[in-house]
Amino acid sequence: MTDWSVTIEAAREDDGSPIFVRIARAITADIRRGRLRAGDALPGTRTLATSLGVHRNTVLAAYRELFAEGWISSAKAKGTYVSVEIPEVAPKRFSPKAVLTREIAARAGYDVESGARGPGGGPLVESTPPVIPQRGPSLRKGALMTLGGGMPDVRLVPAGELARAFRRVLRRSALEVLSYGEPQGPVALRAAIAKMVSATRGVAARAEHVLVARGSQMGIDLVARTLIRPGDVVAVEHLGYRPAWEALRAGGARLVPVPVDAHGIDVGKLERLADAEQLRGVYVTPHHQFPTTVTLAPARRLRLLDLAREKRFWILEDDYDHEFHYEGRPVLPLASADVHGVVLYVGTFSKVLAPGMRIGFVVAPVPIIDRLATTRRYIDRQGDHLLAMAVAELLEEGDIQRHIRRAKRIYAERRVRFARLLETHFSGVLSFELPSGGTAIWARVSADVPVDLWAKRALEAGLVLQPARLFSFDGKGRSYLRLGFAQHDEREAKEAIGRMARAIPRRARASG
Amino acid sequence: MTDWSVTIEAAREDDGSPIFVRIARAITADIRRGRLRAGDALPGTRTLATSLGVHRNTVLAAYRELFAEGWISSAKAKGTYVSVEIPEVAPKRFSPKAVLTREIAARAGYDVESGARGPGGGPLVESTPPVIPQRGPSLRKGALMTLGGGMPDVRLVPAGELARAFRRVLRRSALEVLSYGEPQGPVALRAAIAKMVSATRGVAARAEHVLVARGSQMGIDLVARTLIRPGDVVAVEHLGYRPAWEALRAGGARLVPVPVDAHGIDVGKLERLADAEQLRGVYVTPHHQFPTTVTLAPARRLRLLDLAREKRFWILEDDYDHEFHYEGRPVLPLASADVHGVVLYVGTFSKVLAPGMRIGFVVAPVPIIDRLATTRRYIDRQGDHLLAMAVAELLEEGDIQRHIRRAKRIYAERRVRFARLLETHFSGVLSFELPSGGTAIWARVSADVPVDLWAKRALEAGLVLQPARLFSFDGKGRSYLRLGFAQHDEREAKEAIGRMARAIPRRARASG
């Protein structure tokens, strides 16, 4: 029988957070330090409520939170137990087998064979249509909804804890955060990020290897402005992430698209490109490729790292939603296997926390970080040290980690539910695989449904859809949609899919 | 006899701010709406305390605040009165006589005649030493102090009100500020800034003319990246502000320095430059020129505006510390007299509020604002909407305006006290005029004191000094120092000047 008095004592310590949070934390602390183990029974809610002198609803709220975060499970009428699969803290090392064993044939076919001069034969189409991918709020003013992929549900953000963190920082460190600070960001957050990527992503880093940027976008922009000379060739994934292309191009790069297939960027083609031209760098999203959601195959990862070393180009790795991986553990980034210092690693809290909180980071060798910091002085001089310190606190306290676990569990459910809705409503129209991670489904659209017209009609009906054209270098359409599932609850998802169904264009028929 | 019951009622309304603040606000509201007029007597502190049911110290605190902000004055033993010169809200229109009547001969001599090929004869020296002007915190960790000019005293910032504003915004608009937002900034702040510059700076603007940037630096960077093509000629003041030069150069500009004299940038020389070459733009700080603190003479202002229209170049006007003007009202910006739409107007809250709060703005025609916003998407996508909304609240509530009045009064005192200390300690070494505004004194150093050596020795003694070399285009030293007076209280100013005095190099003597 577990002794609950320690837990109860811990839950009684008033640190300013709501009681149910304190109860939940006291229990997770017990699980972490091994006082409670997988399968152990938790006390009944009435019993615990009486011991703590709180209302039973408070204990119920704490248990709901623990359930959402995956710490406990409930067997009907048999009480509540510590989960058998409790969230692990230490990362699994990258396993080369993890991805190869999965066949993802259904995802093939969205590379750019047609109409492209091909890598090694110079740049493909350099002109970019001015459309900006919709990664906006999930419910806009009025009735506009978006199935744009890549957005978290900001309603899950612990806004109250954030406000308290702001208050604490302003109380304790007002002079520090209000004065000019270092362009690299405050050392407290740089250290917390270094600790996080070391502990959970296998990227060995100390504070001096980290620059706090305003989202991954500024990380990319800083690299573009610092490490590209006009005319330098930079390879990018195709299909790919347009805002990164724009920043790289603004930095002077001549972009060359390299096709993406079911196993990520085609490293063989990249190699032929690197043989033909002096490559300065390559921009990749290996974990959940944007927009196709595929994971870079292990053999390609290793070849890419070797190639960068041989041909002396840098790899700009954008790991924009590392944590949201639902099948097994997240795949460790390229940066974790980079022994030659060729990877510039970019991450962000925009996806795991809130897009409006512009906190991202670059992890790189110290001389690079120093050069990026110099560039940064002339962009906006420095970041938001108040926000940065508040985020550092939330990381130190584990609030962000708790939020991630909770969001991940919710998104995992939404992923499955959304997929089921798509199958029900668009049988024969959409085909897709459940993505192993991320916040969106990449769906192939039946050839007889004009996808761009569908998106146009959907917009008229108050729904933003993202067709493949938005992610293409040559401005051509392709029969794919990127569909975000994370930002909508069940009711909203149904409404959005209803609008999507009503907007579907009549299929082209054989004439006559 | 004034009826105080309304004031007392207003002061009783609990809006979450401290009681003394509420009392002070109730009284200023009465003054604004004319219930109290210049010279009216205020009730005694005991009487008011009894009426309000608060401790007398609370009323004393309120009166001290009102005194600091300039609303009331005290005639010894005769009680407290509404100031005869209460802070005006409406701006005085720009008067051509205001500046011309002052002779500022002592400030002349810091232009770049020697060693320069001269405007119209192509660019001067293009290489820039990598030294970054010290605009860091006033008291660094350890014992390092700075007399770097341009810094406010962040201890005056209403941090508590800021924290409350954050909390209110997170409570009321969490979804809005946590989601992706517009790169131009939230409309609430754009509208508040438009209202502010319209009401106090004579710049007719609506929300759509405003882009919220991260300090004036990002405003300059956005203009540089959007409105400069590689090789474009952009004229800059010399001496001048290096971080702006760096941003303009990174945008592709070929910079041409134009000398500054006692009346600001030499518009005659600029005109000859514009005759000889196609000028794309000019970057100026007309109000308190950086670093020399001079104000652009009225005749030159008018000629500059005409010239820009004739020669079709833009004027990037950086009005970085508009409010801190101690002799009469602030001079209205060029933008207030710009009928042809040639001025891009940049301002910031970094100086009036806190450097670490990166909120600045660009005011420009709508098509320009739209183009800047597109550029911004690829830098950091958007600003801090949480911070922006909090600042909008503080502007709406008048908190920032109150802070500015208070800070201005304190800085005005520090300016005089600091000047007196300089005169006492450096008679025969420094000569200067009291600047009409800003946060720094521009002092000529006697020719027999090597100024760069002085700065070097001062740094060894724990004091940052800014010699003219930091602001020069050709990297050459000149016998001037920029000395900030705003950030130090009396004790600190004495300590800093003590260090400065101990670090003074022995004067060069005639040999033998």
Q: What burial letters (b/e) apply to B244-273, b meaning 16+ CB within 10 Å?
A: bbbbbbbbbbbbbbbbbbbbbbbbebbbbb
Chain B hits for A131, CB-CB cut-off 8 Å, are none
For residue A395, the distance in angstroms to the closest alpha carbon of chain B comes to: 18
How sure is the predictor about A507, in pLDDT bands with cuts at 50, 70 and 90? Answer: low
Mean pLDDT (whole number) for B87-106: 29
pLDDT digits (tens, 9 = 90+) for B444-472: 999 999 999 999 999 999 999 999 999 99
How sure is the predictor about B105, in pLDDT bands with cuts at 50, 70 and 90? Answer: very low
| Mean pLDDT estimate for chain A | 83
User: For A178, which of B160, B213, B357 is closest by C-beta distance?
Assistant: B357
The first and second tokens of residue A82, run together, are 């510590």
How sure is the predictor about B82, in pLDDT bands with cuts at 50, 70 and 90? Answer: confident
- Residue B291: asked if its preceding bond is cis (omega within 30°), the reply is yes
Q: Which residue, chain included where needed, has tokens 């107007």?
A: B345
Phi, psi of B387 (to 5 degrees): -60, -40
How sure is the predictor about B6, in pLDDT bands with cuts at 50, 70 and 90? Answer: low
pLDDT at position B480 is 97
d(C-alpha A281, C-alpha A227), whole Å: 9
- B220: pLDDT strictly greater than 50: yes
How sure is the predictor about A108, in pLDDT bands with cuts at 50, 70 and 90? Answer: very low
User: For B180, which of A159, A355, A386 is closest by C-beta distance?
Assistant: A355
How sure is the predictor about B85, in pLDDT bands with cuts at 50, 70 and 90? Answer: low
For residue A87, the distance in angstroms to the closest alpha carbon of chain B comes to: 27
For residue B153, the distance in angstroms to the closest alpha carbon of chain A comes to: 9
**Percentage of chain B with pLDDT > 90?**
62
Please state the three-class secondary structure of A449-506 as a single string.
Answer: CCHHHHHHHHHHCCEECEEHHHHCCCCCCCCEEEEECCCCCHHHHHHHHHHHHHCCCC
Residue B290 DSSP symbol: T
pLDDT at position B68 is 61
Residue A352 touches chain B, beta carbons under 8 Å: no
Strand order in the sheet with B233-238: B210-213, B360-363, B343-348, B314-318, B279-284, B233-238, B254-261, B264-265
User: For A378, which of B174, B250, B354 is closest by C-beta distance?
Assistant: B250
d(C-alpha B420, C-alpha B391), whole Å: 36
Chain A hits for B214, CB-CB cut-off 8 Å, are 380-381
Q: Pick the residue with more confidence: A46 or B226?
A: B226
pLDDT at position A135 is 35
Q: What is the greatest pairwise CA distance in chain B?
A: 81
Where is average pLDDT lowest: A137-141, B35-39, B231-235, B435-439?
A137-141
The first and second tokens of residue A87, run together, are 């969230």
pLDDT at position A249 is 96
Strand order in the sheet with A254-261: A210-213, A360-363, A343-348, A314-318, A279-284, A233-238, A254-261, A264-265
Residue A488 touches chain B, beta carbons under 8 Å: no
| Residue B361 burial (CB count, 10 A) | 28
Chain A hits for B230, CB-CB cut-off 8 Å, are 230
pLDDT at position B78 is 66
- B42: pLDDT strictly greater than 50: yes
d(C-alpha A237, C-alpha A302), whole Å: 17
- B97: pLDDT strictly greater than 80: no
pLDDT at position A316 is 98
Contact B356 A382 (CB under 8 A): yes
The first and second tokens of residue A185, run together, are 């960001």
Interface of B with A in 196-215 (CB under 8 A): 213-215
User: Which residue of chain A has the CA closest to B249?
Assistant: A378
Residue A391 touches chain B, beta carbons under 8 Å: no
pLDDT digits (tens, 9 = 90+) for A208-225: 999 999 999 999 999 999
- A74: pLDDT strictly greater than 90: no
User: For B381, which of A151, A155, A358 is closest by C-beta distance?
Assistant: A358
Please tell me whether residue A259 adopts helix, strand or coil conformation: strand
CA-wise closest residue to B164 among A312, A150, A170 = A170
The first and second tokens of residue B320, run together, are 């970085």
User: For A356, which of B163, B167, B386 is closest by C-beta distance?
Assistant: B386
pLDDT at position B60 is 85
Residue A312 touches chain B, beta carbons under 8 Å: no
User: For B247, which of A221, A243, A378 is closest by C-beta distance?
Assistant: A378
- B284: pLDDT strictly greater than 70: yes
Hey, CA dihedral for B501, B505, B509, B512, is it positive or negative?
positive
pLDDT at position B342 is 96
pLDDT at position A477 is 93
User: For B378, which of A135, A137, A247 is closest by C-beta distance?
Assistant: A247
pLDDT at position A286 is 96
User: Which residue of chain A has the CA closest to B162?
Assistant: A170
| Residue B276 burial (CB count, 10 A) | 14
- β-pairing, A360-363 vs A343-348, is antiparallel
Number of CB pairs, chain A paired with chain B, less than 8 A apart = 171
Contact A179 B356 (CB under 8 A): yes
d(C-alpha B301, C-alpha B313), whole Å: 15
d(C-alpha B94, C-alpha B298), whole Å: 9
- A273: pLDDT strictly greater than 60: yes
Residue B231 touches chain A, beta carbons under 8 Å: no
**Any residues with CB less than 8 A from the CB of B192 and at least 6 apart, and which?**
B391, B392, B395, B396
Residue A248 touches chain B, beta carbons under 8 Å: no
Provide the CB-side half-sphere exposure for B158 (13 A, CA): 25
Contact B174 A180 (CB under 8 A): no
pLDDT digits (tens, 9 = 90+) for A22-36: 787 788 777 766 667
User: Which residue of chain A has the CA closest to B229?
Assistant: A250
User: Which residue of chain A has the CA closest to B214?
Assistant: A380
Contact B179 A355 (CB under 8 A): yes
- A44: pLDDT strictly greater than 70: yes
Interface of A with B in 157-196 (CB under 8 A): 157, 159-160, 162-163, 166-167, 170-171, 174-181
**Percentage of chain A with pLDDT > 90?**
63
Assess contact for A59 and A48: CB atoms under 8 A: yes
pLDDT at position B430 is 97
Q: Which residue, chain included where needed, has tokens 């196609």?
A: B278
Residue A378 touches chain B, beta carbons under 8 Å: yes
d(C-alpha B446, C-alpha B449), whole Å: 6
Assess contact for A212 and A259: CB atoms under 8 A: no
For chain A, first and last CA: distance in Å? 78
Chain B hits for A180, CB-CB cut-off 8 Å, are 135-137, 151, 355-356
- β-pairing, B480-484 vs A72-74, is unpaired
Q: Pick the residue with more confidence: A91 or B177?
A: B177
**Percentage of chain A with pLDDT > 70?**
82
User: Which residue of chain A has the CA closest to B141?
Assistant: A176
Residue A376 touches chain B, beta carbons under 8 Å: no
**Any residues with CB less than 8 A from the CB of A354 and at least 6 apart, and which?**
A152, A154, A157, B178, B179
| pTM of structure | 0.76
d(C-alpha B342, C-alpha A308), whole Å: 48
pLDDT at position A84 is 62
Chain A hits for B381, CB-CB cut-off 8 Å, are 214-215, 217, 243, 358
**Any residues with CB less than 8 A from the CB of A331 and at least 6 apart, and which?**
A94, A98, A99, A286, A287, A295, A325
Please tell me whether residue B41 adopts helix, strand or coil conformation: strand
How sure is the predictor about A339, in pLDDT bands with cuts at 50, 70 and 90? Answer: confident
pLDDT at position B125 is 28
User: For B243, which of A170, A179, A378 is closest by C-beta distance?
Assistant: A378
The first and second tokens of residue A126, run together, are 């350099």
How sure is the predictor about A109, in pLDDT bands with cuts at 50, 70 and 90? Answer: very low
CA distances from residue B77 to B1, B39, B64 in whole angstroms, order as listed: 19, 15, 16
pLDDT at position A127 is 30
| Mean pLDDT estimate for chain B | 83
CA-wise closest residue to B210 among B227, B185, B228 = B185
Residue A247 touches chain B, beta carbons under 8 Å: yes
- B191: pLDDT strictly greater than 50: yes
| Residue B120 burial (CB count, 10 A) | 15
For residue B297, the distance in angstroms to the closest alpha carbon of chain A comes to: 29
User: Which residue of chain B has the CA closest to A218?
Assistant: B380
pLDDT at position A112 is 25
pLDDT at position B87 is 42
φ/ψ bin of A362: left (φ > 0), alpha (ψ from -120 to 50), beta (otherwise):
beta
How sure is the predictor about B289, in pLDDT bands with cuts at 50, 70 and 90? Answer: very high
pLDDT digits (tens, 9 = 90+) for B372-428: 999 999 999 999 999 999 999 999 999 999 999 999 999 999 999 999 999 999 999
- A104: pLDDT strictly greater than 60: no
d(C-alpha B187, C-alpha B176), whole Å: 12
Where is average pLDDT lowest: A121-135, A236-250, A306-320?
A121-135
How sure is the predictor about A192, in pLDDT bands with cuts at 50, 70 and 90? Answer: very high
For chain B, first and last CA: distance in Å? 79
Mean pLDDT (whole number) for B222-226: 97
